[in-house]
Amino acid sequence: MQAAAKQETVNTTFRPKILKRKLRLGESAIEAGLFIVGFLTIFVTVSIVIVLGDQALLFFLDPEVTLAEFFMSTKWVPAIGEFGIWALVSATLTTSAIAILVAVPLGLSAAIYLSEYASHRARAVLKPVLEILAGIPTVVYGYFALLFVTPLLRELIGSERIGVYNMLSAGLVMGIMILPLISSMSEDALSAVPNSLREAAYAMGATPFEASTQVVLPAALSGIGAAVIVGISRAVGETMIVAIASGATSEFTFNPLKAAETMTAHIARISGGDLPYGTVDYNSLFAIALMLFLVTLALNIVSQWIVTKFREQYE
């Protein structure tokens, strides 16, 4: 090997002579900076809690408001000092329930089909459809609900029984909006089930359908549960569809054919006007937002906890 001849003497001057730890100011500064940036995300959560909590506290301290009224009453008429959250919660519950009733069966079916049956080519066509649905802004869904689904429903059910604004239309469209979320999370859960389970089922003479519904599906159930919970959280927090399609009357009702205002839609409508800062009405919005935040936070934490547990199960 003549190549090495050139290399006979190694220039050792390039070697560090001292192994002593250097003060690398740049490195430390960068690490500190990155930590601060990472910590900033905590600061966002803390700010949310403080901001919402602070204004909500002002609201509850107002002589016009009592906690009992807030949590028990079914009337929300700020003009006459009635602040019963149930008037808004009822609409949130109704629209979310409709959305979940639409999204869960459809989303789950879609997930099963995509993960257990669909050929490569079918997936290449079907998956983008769901991705496009997931990417459509909610305000567009709102347009669709008000100007397509509602007229359709009025045609089908009769315009004397269902109004221009109604919770049914908003809920249905919200279900379509959440469908891709449920489907993609469920698909993840299904594909996380080890193939050995499927093979075990096939080896015992199960058809693909029996394997997927009786072996794989139950094994993925907790992951699917997590998907449903995230779906609920999304439905509860959704604003634009309900703001556009379900009406602007805060009324305590669970009748999907009627118009009623959800918590989110109420916040959007009231704050959209020029509400003076510091009034009870203004502060009441923060109390509603705080409730929303806490409910969705709890749902998300539960869902994440389930997903983590679920992952551990198969690792």
Partner 1 sequence: MQTENSPYAIETRNLSIFYGSFEAVKDVNLQIQKQKITAIIGPSGCGKSTLLRAFNRMNDFVPTSRVSGEILLHGTNLYGKEIDPVEVRRRIGMVFQKPNPFPKSIYENIAWGARINGFKGNMDDLVEQSLRGAALWDEVKDKLKQSAYALSGGQQQRLCIARAIAIQPEIILMDEPASALDPISTLRIEELMQELKKNYTIIIVTHNMQQAARVSDYTAMMMLYENTRSGTVIEYDETKTIFTRPKDKRTEEYVTGRFG
Partner 2 sequence: MIKYTYPEQQDLERFVALRYRTAWIWQLLFLSALLIAIVSLSALLLNVVDGAFGYVAYEFKKDPLTISEKPLEELSKDELIAVLQANLSRGAYNKLEKETPLAARSEGELYNLIIERIIQIKTLETYPLFRSLFEKSAIEAEVREKYPNARLEFRSWLSPAFLTTPMSSRAEFAGVRTALLGSMWLVGIAIAFALPVGVGAAIYLQEYADRKSMVNRIIQTNINNLAGVPSIVYGMLGLAIFVRAMEAFTSGAMFGITDTNGRTLMSAGLTMGILVLPLVVINAQEAIKAVPDSIRQAAFGVGATRWQSIWSHVLPNALPGILTGSILAMSRAIGETAPLIIVGASTFVTVDPQSPFTKFTVLPIQIYQWTARPQDEFHAIAAAAIIVLLVLLLTFNATAILLRNRFQRRW
3-state secondary structure of 220: coil
Q: Assess contact for 288 and 88: CB atoms under 8 A.
A: yes
Q: How far is the CB of 171 from partner 2 (least distance, A)?
A: 14
Residue 91: how many CA atoms within 13 Å on its side-chain side? 36
In this structure, which long-range contacts are made by residues 56-64, counting pairs with CB atoms below 8 Å and at least 24 apart in sequence?
56/283, 56/286, 56/287, 56/289, 56/290, 58/278, 58/283, 58/286, 59/83, 59/280, 59/283, 59/284, 59/286, 59/287, 60/287, 62/280, 62/283, 64/280
Nearer to partner 2, 68 or 203 (CB): 203
| Residue 238 found at the interface with partner 2 (CB under 8 A) | yes
Nearer to partner 1, 20 or 121 (CB): 20
Of 5-13, 113-121, 273-281, 305-313, the segment contacting partner 1 by CB under 8 A is: 5-13
Q: How far is the CB of 66 from partner 2 (least distance, A)?
A: 23
Q: How far is the CB of 5 from partner 1 (least distance, A)?
A: 9
Binding string, residues 136-165; x marks residues near partner 2 by CB under 8 A: xxxxxxxxx-xxx-----------------
Both structure tokens of 94: 């109704």
Residues that contact partner 1, how many (by CB under 8 A): 19
Q: Assess contact for 234 and 184: CB atoms under 8 A.
A: no
> Tokens 């991705």 belong to which residue?
131
Of 2-10, 49-57, 95-103, 228-236, the segment contacting partner 1 by CB under 8 A is: 2-10
Name which of partner 2, partner 1, none residue 10 binds, using a CB cut-off of 5 to 8 Å depending on partner kind.
partner 1
| Residue 110 found at the interface with partner 2 (CB under 8 A) | yes
- Pick the closest to residue 237 from 280, 177, 304 (CA basis): 177
Helix spans in 136-205 (H): 138-144, 150-157, 167-192, 195-203
Nearer to partner 1, 3 or 79 (CB): 3
Q: How far is the CB of 6 from partner 1 (least distance, A)?
A: 6
| Residue 254 found at the interface with partner 2 (CB under 8 A) | no
Nearer to partner 1, 7 or 119 (CB): 7
Q: How far is the CB of 19 from partner 2 (least distance, A)?
A: 11
Please, which residues have CB within 8 angstroms of residue 226's CB and are 6 or more apart in sequence? 185, 189, 303, 304, 306, 307, 310
Instruction: State the Cα–Cα distance between residues 118 and 244, nearest whole angstrom.
Output: 36
The footprint of partner 1 on residues 20-79 (CB under 8 A) is 20-22
Both structure tokens of 71: 């949590």
| Residue 244 found at the interface with partner 2 (CB under 8 A) | yes
Name which of partner 1, partner 2, none residue 11 binds, using a CB cut-off of 5 to 8 Å depending on partner kind.
partner 1
Both structure tokens of 35: 């930590």
Q: How far is the CB of 132 from partner 2 (least distance, A)?
A: 6
Name which of partner 1, partner 2, none residue 157 binds, using a CB cut-off of 5 to 8 Å depending on partner kind.
none
| Residue 213 found at the interface with partner 2 (CB under 8 A) | yes
Nearer to partner 1, 22 or 121 (CB): 22
Q: Determine which helix (DSSP H) or strand (DSSP E) holds 135, and give its type and residue range.
A: helix 120-135
Of 29-37, 63-71, 89-97, 220-228, the segment contacting partner 2 by CB under 8 A is: 29-37
| Residue 120 found at the interface with partner 1 (CB under 8 A) | no
